[in-house]
Amino acid sequence: MGQLQYSETISCDSPKLGGFSIYPKPFYKTTTFYVSVTIATLVILSVLWMMTRSPQPELTPLAATSISEQPPAIESDPDFIVVEIKGAISQPGVYEMPFGSRLIALIDKAGGLLELSDSNQINQAALLVDEESIYIPTIGEVTTTTESESELIDINSADATLLQTLPGIGPAKADAIIAYREATPFQTVDDLSQVDGIGDKTLEQLRPLIRVK
Residue 81, classified by CB atoms within 10 Å of its CB into exposed (0-12), middle (13-18) or buried (19+), is buried
Residue 192, classified by CB atoms within 10 Å of its CB into exposed (0-12), middle (13-18) or buried (19+), is buried
Domain count, the chain: 2
Residue 53 has pLDDT above 70, yes or no: no
| Domain-located, residue 8 | no
Residue 163 has pLDDT above 70, yes or no: yes
| Domain-located, residue 101 | yes
pLDDT reported for residue 128: 86
- Distance CA(174)–CA(162), nearest Å, equals 9
| Domain-located, residue 2 | no
Q: Is there a single domain that holds both residue 132 and residue 155? A: no
Residue 162 has pLDDT above 60, yes or no: yes
DSSP-derived secondary structure letter, 26 = P
Its domain, for residue 114, covers 80-141
CATH of residue 166? 1.10.150.320
Q: Bridge partners of 133?
A: 84
pLDDT reported for residue 61: 54
Q: Is there a single domain that holds both residue 110 and residue 131? A: yes
| Domain-located, residue 123 | yes
Average pLDDT over residues 29-55: 76
Q: Residues with Cβ < 8 Å from 195, sequence gap 6 or more?
A: 173, 176, 177, 180
CATH of residue 121? 3.10.20.600
pLDDT reported for residue 103: 93
DSSP element (H, E) containing 16:
strand 16-17
